[in-house]
Amino acid sequence: MKSLHRFFTEHPASVGESYLQHLSTALSFAGPLLLAAVCAALHALLPGLFPRTASQIVTRLHVRMVTHRTRSSADKG
């Protein structure tokens, strides 16, 4: 049973989060990524639609992720 517990907690702990914190954070990225994927697919079919939407979403998410990673690393050190 310990290995199953580790399966759910090892990675979240490595980024300074509990399982529930990690779940919440990951889901907060999943929604915008899904939206970006839909916009990119529509843009592929109809280039006049959403010319920059997907890249803007990905850029905002990248900034969030890097900022969070930096803050978590500072907390550990």
Under 8 Å between Cβ of 56 and 63: no
pLDDT of residue 77: 47
Nearest partner of 56 among 75, 39, 77, 73, judged by Cα: 39
Using one digit for the tens of pLDDT, what is the confidence trace for 40-63?
999 999 999 999 999 999 999 999
pTM equals: 0.76
